[in-house]
């Protein structure tokens, strides 16, 4: 997974609880958010001659007082402080890995990784994985997300995706 910004990829790893064959899902973050509460990202911005400040008392640190992420596509006026260079993570494939949730921060602002993968697992068990992404985005809206919400679910089960 290659990532630049505050969109996130989360892997759903499913296992049996052993009791009544109940399925349990673990979440594994496949990306990291490039926000300015990350000291490495602040140091990178500063090493390029940029600065981070809290604009309008919002409490959200921003590159040059403008952008809340330190890596992004576009934002040419903030180069070289904001870079499009992604972090890349590799995870070996295993049968227990059922799905990946890819989503914008509009989801992650109101759902934890664990909540999102549990939500999607419930839709997969019901036999409707294709409806899970839309339902998860709608649930984020109902929880009060004020940012754009885009969600994609990749079904990794063999013979399904």
**Residue ranges of domains in the chain, CATH in brackets:** 2-31+89-155 (3.60.40.10), 39-78 (no CATH)
Give CA–CA dist 56/116, Å, rounded: 32
Q: Which of 110, 108, 124 is nearest to 25 (CA)?
A: 124
Residue 25: half-sphere exposure toward Cβ, Cα within 13 Å: 24
Query: What pTM was estimated for this model as a whole?
Result: 0.89
Q: Give, for all 161 residues of the chain, the pLDDT tens digit.
A: 999 999 999 999 998 876 777 889 999 999 999 999 999 999 999 999 999 997 666 688 999 999 999 999 999 999 999 999 999 999 999 999 999 999 999 999 999 999 999 999 999 888 776 789 999 999 999 999 999 999 999 999 876 55
Residue 63 to residues 75, 112, 116, 147: CA-CA distances in angstroms?
A: 11, 25, 29, 19
Q: Give the H/E segment covering residue 12.
A: strand 8-16
Calculate Rg over the CA atoms of the chain: 18
Cβ neighbours of 4 (radius 10 Å)? 19
């Amino acid at each position: 997974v290659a990532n630049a910004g505050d969109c996130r990829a989360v892997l759903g790893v499913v296992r049996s609880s052993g009791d009544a064959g109940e399925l349990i899902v673990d979440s594994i973050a496949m990306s990291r958010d490039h926000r300015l509460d990350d000291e490495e990202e602040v140091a990178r911005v500063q090493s390029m001659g940029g600065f981070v400040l809290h604009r309008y008392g919002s409490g959200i640190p921003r590159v040059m007082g403008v952008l809340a992420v330190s890596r992004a596509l576009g934002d040419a006026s903030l180069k070289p402080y904001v870079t499009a260079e992604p972090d890349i993570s590799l995870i070996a494939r295993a049968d227990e890995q059922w799905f990946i949730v890819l989503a914008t921060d509009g989801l992650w602002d109101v759902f934890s990784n664990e909540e999102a993968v549990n939500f999607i697992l419930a839709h997969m068990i019901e036999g409707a994985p294709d409806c899970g992404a839309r339902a998860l985005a709608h649930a984020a809206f109902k929880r009060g997300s004020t940012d754009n919400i885009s969600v994609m679910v990749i079904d990794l089960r063999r013979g399904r995706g």
